[in-house]
Homo-oligomer: A and B are copies of this chain.
């Protein structure tokens, strides 16, 4: 139903998981995590992914002269998370031939491994002149080669 990333696997599947614990401030008046907080959970996953697969963290991207703004975001909510719940965010890199960075996310409740939310994000490359890059930047080509992904 939702937008499917045009997947073309070429090599490894890169995936990383990070644990989280629901904070008091993230819970709304319905006593479940406010739906907007999942954007932060996905970002937690993406940041941990970037730290794990060296060459792809925020500082490394900026040092290369690019920014990678999000141009599309999708979230499907399956089950609520409640105060003090523990969860696990899995972040998967989705290969694409376009000059884009695509991720899929799965948030699971730690207690029973139930899927509470899934989602996708798409990022593009913007150069120092503020222009959209239509070809994959050199630093990202190297990262793809290093980790054997397209």
* A positions within 8 Å CB-CB of B: 1-3, 23-25, 27-32, 34-36, 39-40, 43-44, 47, 51, 57-59, 67, 69-77, 80, 83-84
Contacts and interface: CB of A to CB of B under 8 A. Distances in A.
Contact of A2 (B2, B34, B69): B2
Given A39-B36, A40-B36, A43-B24, A69 B80 contact: yes
Given A29-B29, A39-B35, A72 B77 contact: yes
Contacts of A71: 76-77
A135 to B, nearest CB: 21
B23 A43 contact: yes
Q: Which one of A36, A51, A76, A83 has the greatest number of beta carbons of chain B within 10 Å?
A: A36
Interface pairs A-B: 10 shortest CB-CB: A36-B39, A27-B29, A35-B70, A73-B75, A29-B31, A71-B77, A74-B74, A2-B3, A1-B3, A25-B34
A110 to B, nearest CB: 14
Contacts of A3: 1-3, 74
A119 to B, nearest CB: 9
A69 B47 CA distance: 26
A60 to B, nearest CB: 10
Contacts of A58: 24, 83-84
